[in-house]
Amino acid sequence: MSAGDWRLTGQERYLRGVPLERLRFSRAEPERDHDHCEFCWAKFGRGGRGEKTLDIGYTTLDRAHWICPRCFEDFRHRFGWTTK
């Protein structure tokens, strides 16, 4: 990935070297029914009829930040991620 990739918007500040888990999406906060990939903004959630959502991805241990499988593969070496 080049340094000019449109998905890179400063995530290095809070995602470099953090451990991640591959999980089925679940809400970190009860009032939120979905979340978005930190890079491409793909939607995580429990999709309704005709709605495109991801239900599995990579998340920080506190489930505050979600990363879709494609962005995980694209940036895993650059960010030095480890998985549990």
Q: Model's pTM, two decimal places?
A: 0.88
Both tokens assigned to 83: 């998985």
What band does 84 get if pLDDT is binned at 50, 70 and 90?
Answer: confident
pLDDT score of 51 more than 80: no
Both tokens assigned to 11: 């995530």
**What percent of the chain lies above the pLDDT cut of 70?**
90
Angstrom distance (rounded) from CA 70 to CA 74? 6
Angstrom distance (rounded) from CA 84 to CA 75? 17
pLDDT score of 49 more than 90: no
Helix, strand counts (H, E) of the chain = 2, 6
